[in-house]
Structure 1
């Protein structure tokens, strides 16, 4: 990863240019302009996830202590939170702009991963885990870790080769994977092929995708790995592991698994910021800077 001073400069120039040329339009707010610009707030948020800091408080304290000459008018953490939530759509605009610079792969993958949140019984005040369209937190099974969780589920549609996220959604914790896939594919051009886990298996789903011109290939089961020759299942399993790598980068390395949000809108903002940071790393930073 770039040294932190280079990262701040690189991000700020990229974001400021995107705001000025209306690639990332930000609606005007009433009142005088804030002392700390929107470009600075977005830069700090993206740099935090790219740097792998899981504590927002510790990150802002480090920025104030070591980088005050870059951000001399950084507001209090509560104001940073409010303004970052207000700017959540800017993360998504920047992510889609960056992703569009890379041609879409003909083969794609879809997967879901757990987004745990604190149960209302563990926090004071009313239940704040309510989103739009009657979306609420609930209990679900995290198959990857073999445990139950309370929260939501993040659905991702990624290119097989570049691993760039093409679309995403936050949905209920207990949800049919095929329903998530249909949502993520609804507004997209049909890919040539989809490499999916067994949770997406279903004749009706495969038939519907075939009618759109998309071939569905399922990852091998454990039983198939035990009984079939490795040459039959290993190539597909290796390719399927790419989306597991993407999930790990997003949830563990960039900290979405420890998001620290207290409301659904805070979770939405952090998710949009992490996915923007991940796309920025794949499209802009990774080609010229190998991660350490």
Structure 2
């Protein structure tokens, strides 16, 4: 039973440390072992994202209040550097959690994208950082659901009907959702996938079903003369709400749409930590018998 933040930290560290013992041989390191172990640092990063501590100064400052749990808190720049070096390991831990999570095996999924701006739109044209981010694939792109233009990326998410993020892909904000979504689905044959109108393409839907056994379901546009049973349209809209809930968690609790990174790899390390935190929260909800795995904030302590 988790009754407070300290309990959550303990559960998180034990799970991450056990997984890290199996994964660590694939991630070689040079030099002496640091006082703050890799599994401890990964726990600091992942749990910190669950708490919404998305700035290193805030994260390190807050963790110093819990040195009875983690005695060796690294200095800010060292923490940032080690987290970047361990981002592949953090993603591997997320994937290991998915393998243990029965909810992640659901063959019914939802596909959607989430905006990831890296520079505020009004400042992007004049910002000296724009050339760097452009060299890393950041682009101007429209976000139809929010009726805005951003400079950055879109995060394509594949989410089960139970709210588990099973896969993702990062692409420039100018890339069509359909194109990126099709790339994401290449590694997931046999799924039933619900998408919004950005994924409408009769030819691609037929190709997916014939070649990969994937059923991509969308409601038709208003100008399309396609008959669809009202119950099916209602069902698609119902399951679309699942990914809206997940998107809301990532944006509000994990602050995914706020960029604190100064480099592409810094952005990726933060992204991996946030998604690992989301998966870990659902895994703990499931492990502890929480009935609604989407309600991550009700995990047993006020995040």
TM-score range, shorter chain: 0.7 to 0.9
1 CA distance for matches of 2:127 and 2:66?
34
Deviation at 1:55, TM superposition (A): 3.1
1 CA distance for matches of 2:250 and 2:220?
24
2 CA distance for matches of 1:5 and 1:122?
45
Going from structure 1 to structure 2, the CA distance change for 1:24 and 1:183 (only over 3 Å counts) comes to: farther
Matched with 1:106 is: 107
2 CA distance for matches of 1:106 and 1:125?
41
Matched with 1:197 is: 196
Taking only aligned residues, the RMSD between alpha carbons, in angstroms, comes to: 2.5
1:35-66 deviations in Å (ceiling 9; x for gaps) = 111111111111111122343311210111x1
Going from structure 1 to structure 2, the CA distance change for 1:74 and 1:144 (only over 3 Å counts) comes to: same
Deviation at 1:254, TM superposition (A): 1.1
Going from structure 1 to structure 2, the CA distance change for 1:237 and 1:223 (only over 3 Å counts) comes to: farther
Normalising by structure 1, we get a TM-score of 0.87
Q: Pick one of 127, 132, 135 that aligns with 1:128.
A: 132
Going from structure 1 to structure 2, the CA distance change for 1:232 and 1:95 (only over 3 Å counts) comes to: closer
Aligned pairs, number: 282
Q: Does 1:278 align with 2:282?
A: no
Q: What pairs up with 1:10-49 in 2 under 5 angstroms?
A: 10-20=11-21, 22-23=22-23, 25=25, 27-49=27-49
Going from structure 1 to structure 2, the CA distance change for 1:229 and 1:97 (only over 3 Å counts) comes to: closer
1 CA distance for matches of 2:52 and 2:223?
37
Gaps of 5+ in 2: 291-297
1 CA distance for matches of 2:173 and 2:89?
26
Normalising by structure 2, we get a TM-score of 0.84
1:172-214 deviations in Å (ceiling 9; x for gaps) = 11112221122111122321x2111110001111111120222
Deviation at 1:217, TM superposition (A): 1.4
**Which structure 1 residue ranges, 4+ long, deviate > 6 Å from structure 2?**
none
Matched with 1:169 is: 169
